[in-house]
Chains A and B, each alone.
Chain A
């Protein structure tokens, strides 16, 4: 801008012109491809400025974090999509799962593999129990949004402080080897993190395939997309709702165990993860199961890559920032097509 000239404010016509630009139209038509293109450009920029090794190393950490977010997010987004319930207690499902695994793995001394299955089963049971005693009856009474929001908050407190009552506030850990590392291609990662990435991605792929190809998965997505329409095609909605809670609970339990394995186990574990998981859900488009899987991984990568540019103490804030920016700029999510939000 030359001295003396006043920069033109972003006026309505300019905004319109931006919206109608070629790039914007392409982005609207191919949201997935343009999201991948943007992330690709970002990676190239980071490699150019920070070097391939650092980008790959932080990316590896990001994959461990991202798989926890993704597994936590898919259940939350399906519950939202199908029941229109923003479940603020979902984070505390993760806490519950982590402590169930702690009970089996540390208190009883059973190997972690069995503890994971126990934690998943118990958290699934927790989800179904509250569907039966709370959410189902409330839906039958046509409860309003505020009622459901505050009940989910109440449930979050109930679970968190019941856990705190039994196990106290001290910081505990699962019986994992947190010293051993794995090295390849000049990269180094903790063995536990490495296992979390493997398990996490195996589960992500399995969940993705199940949602894409199995009848139950298709029914879940159909209900999440349009409940009334799905019901008219003859889907047994109450059965699918029950399976959704089993599915969401089991995955939340698993995410809790994975998070507990790479960090520690404490009553606030899940609440600390809730907002990043919300960010992953919104990033992928709320109610969209595949979006949540991708959103979780993208968020994990972004948070770890951010440490290349800012002090690592602030990386938690990156999750919040992504949440706010996506809500403001693209509330339908980076992969979503514009809908009434």
Chain B
């Protein structure tokens, strides 16, 4: 007993001893950065739906899966060019957005949430069981050859700029953040158009907008389809980051990590999404290095308990998030 205590003593005296070394490593921040950019794009879709249209989409991981798997299947099984598969996969995800939204957007917000999470589970279940098409639990590999050529070219430039041994994934980091920032800016400006104002009006009072002669269902469908497209783009970066596709990567858990990102950054604020995503993934990935006397399995459990606790505490005490405006938090009723 005393031997056991002694072996744990350093950790007990310094319960949150953190190995700081990984935090200075380029590799760590490249990994965190790619995940943060991926979930920025993912969260932008949620922001458009929840923050600016007032529809509670709980199926974003499903749209991400549709986009990523469409790309993977088109490239690996149908031998398409990676670059042509990307826009087609986005269009497939948007079509799914319309198919899912058309019947379910007529329902009340809580029914819509249940319907969309059911859709996401159907997609994941299909990916798991349709072995011929989606590879089942073996997953899909080998869709990223054409991307790897581009990645090597970018790393060649980095070397010629004087970085002797660039990170393998650094090109993905650059491209993911470039796309994330362009999309954030695009949504920021689109939100200021008349179209964006109609969405906000629907969020505030759908009946009033309908009384003004607007087809609110069409606007909500557009919002959901664009969100699905953003989910698909996030799915591409997820796929390139892992170099394979597996159903477990599209668990509903990831939709709600997306919600954590959304409410951390703040509702009704597009720039907040990136901030929320960086905070979330620094915590989630950094927690791997907290030097507690725990097994990796324990650490994983603690990480996701933290996600749960974060959602509860934010919703209880600061539902508008860090940068959100309280007066735009109108999903009451």
Chain A residues at the B interface, C-beta cutoff of 8 Å: 86, 134, 137-138, 142-151, 153-158, 160-162, 164-165, 168-169, 271, 275, 278-279, 282, 286, 313-314, 316-317, 320-321, 323-324, 327-328, 331, 341
Contacts and interface: CB of A to CB of B under 8 A. Distances in A.
Contacts of B74: none
Given A143-B315, A320-B125, A324-B115, A161 B308 contact: yes
A328 B104 contact: yes
B91 interface: no
Shortest 9 CB-CB distances between A and B: which pairs? Answer: A157-B308, A154-B311, A144-B332, A146-B331, A158-B308, A165-B301, A154-B312, A328-B103, A154-B308
A199 B301 CA distance: 34
Contacts of A317: 122, 125-126, 129
B305 A158 contact: yes
Contacts of B129: 313-314, 317
Contacts of B103: 324, 327-328
A331 B315 contact: no
B107 A150 contact: no
A155 to B, nearest CB: 6
Contacts of A143: 315, 319
Given A150-B315, A154-B315, A323 B118 contact: yes
Interface in B280-333: 297-298, 300-302, 304-305, 307-312, 315-316, 319, 329-333
A324 B312 contact: no
6 contacts: A86-B113, A154-B307, A161-B302, A161-B304, A320-B118, A341-B108
Contacts of B263: 150
Given A134-B312, A144-B330, A320 B104 contact: no
Interface string B102-142: 01100111110111011101100110010000000000000
Nearest to B103: A328
Contacts of A282: 111, 114
Interface residue tally on B, bucketed by range: 35 or more
B104 A147 contact: no
B190 to A, nearest CB: 23
A158 B309 contact: yes
Residue among B103, B300, B308, B309 with the most chain A CB within 10 A? B308
B56 A149 contact: yes
A147 B111 contact: no
Nearest to B305: A161
A155 B108 contact: no
B125 A158 contact: no
B219 interface: no
B316 A145 contact: no
Contacts of B56: 145-146, 149
Contacts of A168: 297
A145 B114 CA distance: 13
A142 B319 CA distance: 12
Contacts of A158: 305, 308-309, 312
Contacts of B330: 144
Nearest to A327: B115
Contacts of A150: 256, 259, 263, 311, 315
B259 A275 contact: no
A50 B119 CA distance: 31
B50 interface: yes
Nearest to B297: A168
Contacts of A86: 110, 113-114
Residue from A146, A151, A160, A169 having most chain B Cβ neighbours under 10 A: A146
